[in-house]
A and B are shown apart, each in its own frame.
Chain A
């Protein structure tokens, strides 16, 4: 092997390999950086609150002076579902019975109110599965509250009555008594606030709970949805706003803007990643050309090695190892530079948006590894093919 290498390293062009190395490093770095930057910056724009993905739009009917129902008919649902911008669609399901709720600390009820529950299919809710579930017979129902409710309490109600202000953490510890009445039955349950959302102005409970409780307390009621949750392919699509306008539906314009920003970020990151990939592909061709040239210059040596009994696989090995080693070095260096650059920009992001969570880096690692494996395999095959033809 040492002797074969001594022969085959003849005519290796250091400038060509350096060119490949830099180009490949640049390509790889751009691809990984685009991915990582997208992942890191996305939460800043989308203000994810952990429960409802901000890419979803909430659609309701405009309430008019003329009255009429605000529920969506199956036909309207069907029509919306068939629009080209719609990716998936689901209705909110509201509780059809009376709900009263009281809050208290250590069992002493402080205040109570009439209220209602709503649910959306669980796939639209980004809550941890171990918190967000309900089965018949459970004593406790998980609840997500709008963040604005807490603000109303803290800055309006508590302020004027000299009551203590509550943090989100404290509210999560408070017992909430839920009393449900309907169809001649009454049931008491505990509610536990598992989180808050900016996205929905409703009191959200798991889908299974609403299904069970409606069946139990209002078996005959009509449960046509009055609000819809809509996942779209492209939030910048003008067709969405046009359609909503024509049919007199309301969407949260504000959220649509956030969706547009995220979409824009996605497109820009995608384009940059594409450029990175292109550079990687080009660098791959530089390497292949360099190796082909090398094979061409060493043709006689390669032929003679074949004639004294070396197999094509064995002659290919030095060049294959060379390229794989270079690819591996590129990967390691790209990841190191990525970490360093990320540290740099994350400091700025955290300075501006202290609440943004740290995103894991493994997707970039995995992508880098995939690129490394794909490029290396292609190199190995191309070299083997070329040498077999000598």
Chain B
């Protein structure tokens, strides 16, 4: 998968807005593999909607979205399963972790599906992100910031051509967002993947190829 192309796409709820000022909605936007994008937005401008449209779990939009020229509305359930295992990863803003599992298990539940990382590599991430003591902690007992880091690790535990990260550092201090950005960029570079980061102000300090205002 090399490109994600948005052709005059916009959320249906925006259909009646005449003065929609956006560099993404109702525009012709292409995200390319290997590049780093920042999508900046105010709240309520449809940042998470963008992620959910591209990730295929909402389709209340108009216009088209295509992957390498294939309209994603035509993808079947099995296609999405394959994409989400091998080509496309999303770090959810709302995390979508499993409180019944420990931190490590939350990462492993993805990693066992893809068989992508060794346990040693995952434990190294825990170290880098400053939560080595939380490996076996039940998720329910962790702070939101700590959970965000677990979510990032889970998002990285798979091969991908594109990584979407939806407000990754909203609850992190600068030091921790730095280390999170480091492992993310390291993994994305290694895989030659494209990265789309969204933010409502505070964002990872990275060398973005392009910044778009939503």
Q: How many residues of B contact A (CB 8 A)?
A: 22
List the A side residues contacting B101 at CB < 8 Å: 3, 6-7
| A3 and B101 alpha carbons, distance in the complex (Å) | 8
A59 to chain B, nearest CB (A): 66
Is A312 part of the binding interface, using a Cβ–Cβ cutoff of 8 Å?
Answer: yes
Which residues, 301 to 331 on A, are CB-close (under 8 Å) to B? Answer: 301, 304-312
B interface, by DSSP: helix, strand, loop or mixed?
Answer: helix
Which B107-138 residues have a C-beta within 8 angstroms of A? 108-110, 112-114
Whether B173 sits at the interface, judged by CB under 8 Å, is no
Q: Say whether A6 contacts B77, CB under 8 Å.
A: no
- CB B97 to nearest CB in A, in angstroms, measures 8
What distance in Å separates the Cβ of B90 from its nearest Cβ neighbour in chain A? 8
> CA of A106 to CA of B55 in the docked complex: distance in angstroms?
96
How many whole Å from B135's CB to the nearest CB in chain A? 15
B98 partner, pick from A301, A306, A311, beta carbons under 8 A: A301
A224 nearest CB across to chain B (Å): 72
Segment touching A, from B13-21, B34-42, B78-86: B78-86
Decide if B70 is an interface residue (CB 8 Å cutoff).
no
Q: Is the CB of B81 within 8 A of A388?
A: no
In the assembled complex, the CB of B3 is this many whole angstroms from the nearest CB of chain A, namely: 21
B117 to chain A, nearest CB (A): 14
Q: Which of B81, B92, B98, B105 contacts A309 (CB 8 A)?
A: B81
Instruction: Say yes or no for A88: interface residue by CB 8 A criterion.
Output: no
Task: Please name all residues of chain B whose beta carbon is closer than 8 Å to the beta carbon of A306 when the two chains form the complex.
Answer: 81
CA A107 to CA B206, docked complex, whole Å: 116
Residues A3 and B158 in contact in the complex (CB < 8 Å), given A304-B98, A310-B81: no
User: Interface range on chain A: under 10, 10 to 19, 20 to 34, or 35 or more?
Assistant: 10 to 19
**Is B202 in the interface zone, CB < 8 Å from A?**
no
State whether the Cβ of A103 lies closer than 8 Å to any Cβ in chain B: no
| CB-defined contacts of B113 to chain A, threshold 8 Å | 308-310
Hey, which chain B residues are within 8 Å of A6, CB to CB?
100-101, 105
The CA-CA distance from A7 to B98 in the complex, in Å, is: 8
Find out whether the CB atom of B100 lies under 8 angstroms from the CB atom of A309: no
CA–CA, A10 and B140, complex, Å? 15
B84 touches A309 (CB 8 A): yes
A305 to B109, CA, bound (A): 9
How many whole Å from B203's CB to the nearest CB in chain A? 24
Q: Which residues of B contact A (CB under 8 A)?
A: 55, 57, 77-78, 81, 84-85, 90, 92, 96, 98, 100-101, 105, 108-110, 112-114, 154, 158
Mark A residues whose CB is within 8 Å of B. 1, 3-4, 6-7, 10, 301, 304-312, 388
Taking A3-B101, A6-B100, A301-B98 as given, write out 7 further A-B residue pairs in contact, using a Cβ cutoff of 8 Å, ordered by the A residue number: A1-B112, A304-B98, A307-B90, A309-B84, A311-B81, A312-B77, A388-B77
